[in-house]
């Protein structure tokens, strides 16, 4: 079975500062990895994903993440935070089609951006 | 516009009553999923369906039921057997055929329904 751990349920950053959200996973097979963002009382929007190929993945809104197999990590970064980045972010893992593409989510990290 | 709709956005029910949450998609996706979200716990899978007339239990199926009679619809019933039903419920769908704007590995989410049991 797979699992996901997001370190820090709340992160506070200043506008213009680096955003770093940590995600570690455990999986018995090479996983697919996802980052989703959720604004208050809304559904989830896909930020980026890793399935195969290049380990540095670029997503929407200036976010990127790097898959590091040796560290079982998929941390999310953005060089310069914007007020509109205030939201909750979820890391998720899937074992792909053989397992119905079911997603296992981390507990989420809520980002607060200070002016 | 293609997308996933969930209705209603807010739902209140009295303890002991069954309630059905709607999820409809016009993306022609084959697979559909129901998740429950509680504060600090992320999302947990309730049920999923990969084709019409077939569905499987997820991690927390007890107290819930589903049906998949049509490709575009996957309603979730929260029964009186669900001991703590107050939560935010999210529906998602996924294509099993690659396309120009969709991939087979990505789930797309609806806006959610917030259920409160009084």
B-chain residue closest to A103, CA distance: B45
Tokens of A28: 């018995």
Provide, as residue numbers in chain B, all residues whose Cβ is less than 8 Å from the Cβ of A32.
105
**What pLDDT does residue B101 have?**
56
Q: What percent of chain A has pLDDT over 90?
A: 77
Residues in contact with B1: Cβ distance below 8 Å, sequence separation at least 6, in sequence order: none
Q: Could you identify the residue written with the tokens 């797309």?
A: B108
Q: Tell me which residues of chain B, numbers 37 to 96, contact chain A at a CB-CB cutoff of 8 Å.
A: 40-45, 48, 50, 56, 58, 88, 90, 92, 94
- Which tokens belong to B33? 């999923």
Other C-beta atoms closer than 10 Å to the C-beta of A91 total: 29
pLDDT at res. A111: 97
Average pLDDT over residues A55-69: 95
Q: A65-79: buried (b, 16+ CB within 10 Å) or exposed (e) per residue?
A: bebeeeeebbbbebe
For every residue of B11-46, DSSP letters joined together read: EEE-TT--EEEEEEE-S--SEEEEEEE-TTS-EEEE
Residue B35's Cβ-side half-sphere holds a number of Cα atoms within 13 Å equal to 23
Chain A hits for B104, CB-CB cut-off 8 Å, are: 97, 101
Averaged pLDDT, groups of 10, chain B, 118 residues long = 87 92 94 92 92 94 97 96 93 78 78 94
Q: CA–CA separation, A69 vs A65, rounded Å?
A: 13
Rounded-to-10 torsion of CA A76, A6, A29, B53: -100
pLDDT at residue B41, rounded to an integer:
79
**Is the sign of the CA dihedral A34, A107, A25, A83 positive or negative?**
positive
Are B106 and A96 a contacting pair at CB < 8 A? Answer: no
**Which among A9, A43, A101 has the least Cβ separation from residue B31?**
A101
Q: A107 in the Ramachandran plot: left (φ > 0), alpha (ψ -120 to 50) or beta? A: alpha
């Amino acid at each position: 079975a797979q699992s996901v751990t997001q370190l820090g349920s709340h992160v506070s950053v200043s506008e213009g500062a680096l955003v770093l959200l940590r995600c570690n996973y455990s999986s018995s097979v090479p996983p697919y990895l996802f980052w989703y963002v959720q604004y208050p009382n809304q559904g989830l929007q896909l930020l980026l994903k890793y399935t195969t190929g290049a380990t540095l993945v670029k997503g929407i809104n200036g976010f990127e993440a790097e898959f590091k197999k040796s560290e079982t990590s998929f941390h999310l970064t953005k060089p310069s935070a914007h007020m509109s980045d205030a939201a909750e972010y979820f890391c998720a893992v899937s074992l792909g089609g053989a397992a119905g593409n079911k997603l296992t989510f981390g507990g989420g990290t809520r980002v607060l951006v200070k002016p | 516009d293609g997308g996933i709709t969930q209705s209603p956005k807010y739902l209140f029910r009295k303890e002991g009553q069954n309630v059905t949450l709607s999820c409809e998609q016009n993306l022609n996706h084959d697979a559909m999923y129901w998740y429950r979200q509680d504060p600090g716990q992320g999302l947990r899978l309730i049920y999923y369906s990969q084709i019409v007339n077939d569905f499987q239990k997820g991690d927390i199926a007890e107290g819930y039921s589903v049906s998949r009679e049509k490709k575009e619809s996957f309603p979730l019933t929260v029964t009186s057997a669900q001991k703590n039903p107050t939560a935010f419920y999210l529906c998602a769908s996924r294509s099993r055929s690659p396309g120009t704007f969709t991939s087979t590995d990505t789930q797309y989410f609806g806006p959610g329904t917030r259920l409160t049991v009084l």
